[in-house]
Amino acid sequence: MLFNTIDFAIFLPIVFLLYWFATNNNRKVQNILLVLASYVFYGWWDWRFLSLILFSTLVDYTVGLGLQNQNNNRKRKLLLWTSILVNIGFLGFFKYFNFFLDNFIQAFSLFGVQIQGSSLNIILPVGISFYTFQTLSYTIDVYKRKIEPTRDFIAFTAFVSFFPQLVAGPIERASNLLPQFLKERNFKYANAVVGLKQILWGLFKKVVIADNCAYFADIIFSNSEYYSGSTLVLGALFFTFQIYGDFSGYSDIAIGTARLFGFRLMQNFAFPYFSRDIAEFWRRWHISLSTWFRDYLYIPLGGSRGGMLKRIRNTLIIFIVSGFWHCANWTFIVWGALNAIYFLPLLVTRNNRRNIEIVAYNSVFPTFRELGAILLTFILTVFAWIFFRAENISHAMDYISTIFSKSFFDEVSFWGYKYARILYFLIPAFIIVEWIGRKGQFAIEKIGLTWKRPFRWLLYAVIVFLIGILMRTNETPFIYFQF
């Protein structure tokens, strides 16, 4: 079920009313309702894959209890590896089987050895990359004795399958989200208001910014051989705002929806395009994933301990693995490696934690130096997104070579260009609103709080109006559903 559909617009109010008015605020009944709602939400796409979530839930719940009752280190490691192999095994089969098979066959063909093999017609279960990492964080933290395992199976099932963030995050930690299923929850009007505002802003990002950028980005990338370098630059810019509006929009809707039910999810995006270097960008982009890799891969590899060569090695590993996590395609591995190359000079010079505070925190405008740093970081990010969007490495290299050709100075022109010009106004307006609201959890969280009610409601009405008139007729899935 997509957030930007009439199905969800009907589903959410029904679940909300049942949750607060038909459960008598009974925690266990609320959790049962959330499990049922989450399974309906996920099964709406393909009910057959509910068995994967249920099996993963049973395995990690059982492993957690086994770790609590086991003091033998060897047996504890065996339990942990059971969880890791089951979860990564499912993920590896559905997401990477064909990739490794095809590359295995191609590798042997280079030596003149022909191996017969054919790819399997495997459907990638929506959200598998997200909920497998979420359940893995639980068993790893229980193994390290950072948290106590729960005996409440319904609460644990709700934690694994919680529908707002089930298919595209944020990837929550058990230490944050699971305890919220184990305590009483009461309706708070203020939380609901903030949640609705965040949902509204998330829908605006997705429907108005991302979907309209996606339409023209797809035209340009799909026909890049026919367009000038200047047009391809515009295509890369459209995709840059598409992926941000799409993914951060999903996160906003997920976090806002969770608020309606009394839950607090972690912030997943913190205005990353205002970053002054790549290190800051990765502290603000897909925060739940980058911190997951930091805690469960980078630190176990040795983190920042040891010499500089070891730190460089660990950094390269997490960026490349992060790229591969997104999709089984060499373009994503190159994208991850490219970001590692951007990051390494900051690491070597020990400037990777130079920009912690949000830019221009105590002023209205950035300094010229900050603005230059933001623009440079943004340009590097746009360049890297070309590999993320391209069909393959050859497509990416052809796209880039055209940008750096003399056609870079040609007039922008592509099919539908006159309709795309509306984005010349929408994107700058969007950037201005994000800049004004950059100190909040989301852009319009605090905008208008001191205004008189009619003006505040006018702001929300304008956003709803823009969503209504600029929504594309076809339902556009969220980008990260494919990951």
Q: pLDDT at position 474, please?
A: 74
Across the chain, what does the average pLDDT equal? 90
Do 242 and 140 belong together in one domain? no
Active site residues: 326
Percent with pLDDT over 90 in the chain: 72
Q: pLDDT at position 414, please?
A: 87
Beta-carbon contacts of 199 under 8 Å, excluding residues fewer than 6 positions away, are 252, 253, 256, 257
Do 163 and 213 belong together in one domain? no
- Inform me whether the pLDDT recorded for 119 exceeds 70: no
Do 264 and 404 belong together in one domain? yes
Percent with pLDDT over 70 in the chain: 93
**314: burial class by Cβ within 10 Å (0-12, 13-18, 19+)?**
buried
Confidence of residue 201 (pLDDT cuts 50, 70, 90): very high
Domain endpoint, select from 162, 187, 212: 187
Mean pLDDT of 468-481: 79
Least confident of 40-44, 113-117, 189-193, 443-447: 113-117
Q: Is the pTM of this model over 0.75?
A: yes
Q: pLDDT at position 86, please?
A: 92
Confidence of residue 105 (pLDDT cuts 50, 70, 90): low
Task: Tell me if 155 sits within 8 A of 95, measured CB to CB.
Answer: no
Q: pLDDT at position 120, please?
A: 55
Do 370 and 437 belong together in one domain? yes
- Inform me whether the pLDDT recorded for 107 exceeds 80: no
Q: pLDDT at position 251, please?
A: 95
For the chain, how many structural domains are there in total?
A: 2
Higher per-residue confidence, 416 vs 242: 242
Do 469 and 361 belong together in one domain? yes
Task: Tell me if 217 sits within 8 A of 256, measured CB to CB.
Answer: no
Higher per-residue confidence, 98 vs 248: 248
Mean pLDDT of 163-170: 88
- Inform me whether the pLDDT recorded for 16 exceeds 70: yes
Do 36 and 98 belong together in one domain? yes
Mean pLDDT of 328-336: 90
Q: Distances in Å between the alpha carbon of 391 and those of 79, 91, 212, 375, 480?
A: 40, 22, 20, 27, 16
Which structural domain range is residue 220 located in?
204-276+355-482
CA torsion sign, 366 to 367 to 369 to 375? positive
Rounded (10°) CA dihedral 253, 258, 263, 267: -20
Q: Pinpoint the alpha helices (H) of 114-266.
A: 128-143, 153-161, 174-181, 189-203, 211-222, 229-260
Do 177 and 64 belong together in one domain? yes
Higher per-residue confidence, 126 vs 289: 289
CA distance 35 to 33: 5
- Inform me whether the pLDDT recorded for 417 exceeds 90: no
Q: pLDDT at position 45, please?
A: 80
Least confident of 257-261, 368-372, 408-412: 408-412
Do 209 and 262 belong together in one domain? yes
Q: pLDDT at position 285, please?
A: 96
Beta-carbon contacts of 426 under 8 Å, excluding residues fewer than 6 positions away, are 208, 209, 212, 470
Question: Locate tokens 């309702």: which residue?
Answer: 33
Q: Say if 457 falls within a structural domain.
A: yes
CA distance 277 to 223: 32
Do 24 and 136 belong together in one domain? yes
Q: Say if 283 falls within a structural domain.
A: no
Mean pLDDT of 91-115: 63
Rg of the chain over all Cα atoms, to the nearest angstrom: 23
CA distance 272 to 155: 33
Do 380 and 435 belong together in one domain? yes
Do 63 and 182 belong together in one domain? yes
Q: pLDDT at position 453, please?
A: 86
Q: pLDDT at position 326, please?
A: 84
Higher per-residue confidence, 104 vs 470: 470
Q: Say if 199 falls within a structural domain.
A: no
Q: Say if 17 falls within a structural domain.
A: yes
Mean pLDDT of 34-61: 91
pLDDT tens-place string over residues 358-383 = 999 989 999 999 999 999 999 999 99
Q: Say if 87 falls within a structural domain.
A: yes
Q: Say if 289 falls within a structural domain.
A: no
Least confident of 119-128, 286-295, 423-432, 438-447: 119-128
Mean pLDDT of 311-322: 92
Mean pLDDT of 221-244: 95
Q: Pinpoint the alpha helices (H) of 47-148.
A: 50-68, 73-109, 128-143
Q: Distances in Å between the alpha carbon of 272 and those of 150, 174, 277?
A: 36, 25, 10
